[in-house]
Amino acid sequence: MIILNSFSNMLIDVIIRKAKAADKNMVLEFCKTTFSWGDYIADVWDYWILEGNLLVLTENNSTVAICHSSFFDKQVWIEGIRVNEKFRKKGFAKNLVLESESLAKNKNCTISQMLIAKNNKKSLHLAKNLNYKKESIWNFYYLIPKKLEKKTNVTIAINNKKIIDFLLSHLSSYVKSWRWIPLTKTKIESLIHEKRILYTKKNNEIDTMIIFTESEHFEKTLMLTMFTGSKNGIDEIIAYFQNYAIEKNITRIQILTESTLHKIKNLDKKFSFCLMKKKL
């Protein structure tokens, strides 16, 4: 428990602590209108509580802000920063991020990352003031599952030096449950073993490559991290996963890529995000 301020004469106590199940209703109430479409916190709250890295900030015993962290090797992923609109402009988001970074340092993390919508100027300003730098821009596309009468030429990756070297030189991370997880040789070998890496070829060379995972927090949701090559390679991958989703009873396909995809039927671009990074 971290006590940020305690002013006995003003009866104001601001505390950061680990979230409890009892905080849920109060948090979900002030998160209902975070975005125009609502928020996803209700879907992930129980998972985050179980993971044990969900922080809340309270003012006079009222829960008014939250922040969640995940740890991968030497990296911390910070997400879900929310502040009750009645308690903003008090530095609460900043304090939660700094406390998350402190926890990360105690776990020997050397890098902190977070994802912020490209049009979220307030959050980008906060990140900049906390010395985060823009690492890259990622585009989010939504693909509708559809049975297609088309034979696709897609190859399942095998464990060899060419595949590993290609990935390490073209992608620094892959997306799983909306967390950008660092790609290492060991991680790539694990994904290959799980048959999670597919690619197309052009002139007998690797063209478009996909790492795909199923969301841990959202049911029947497939997440694709895409490195793009030729237009034909992209089309082959898109068609493959539209059919795959139908066969596996997947209802949502989400694609994250640093590229801008050409117009494809049943593919809809949603948002662009800034991947932010800071050395701890």
- Structural domains present in the chain: 2-109 (3.40.630.30), 140-273 (3.40.630)
Rounded CA separation 208/166 (Å): 11
pLDDT of residue 37: 75
Regions in the chain scoring below 50 on pLDDT: 7-9
pLDDT of residue 111: 97
DSSP 133-166: EEEEEEEEEEE-----------EE--S-HHHHHH
pLDDT of residue 1: 61
CB 179 within 8 A of CB 79: yes
pLDDT of residue 33: 81
Per-residue pLDDT tens over the stretch 114-152: 999 999 999 999 999 999 999 999 999 999 999 998 788
| Helix (H), strand (E) at residue 245 | helix 231-247
φ/ψ of 149, rounded to 5, equals -85, 65
Among residues 235, 184, 182, the alpha carbon closest in space to that of 75 is found at 182
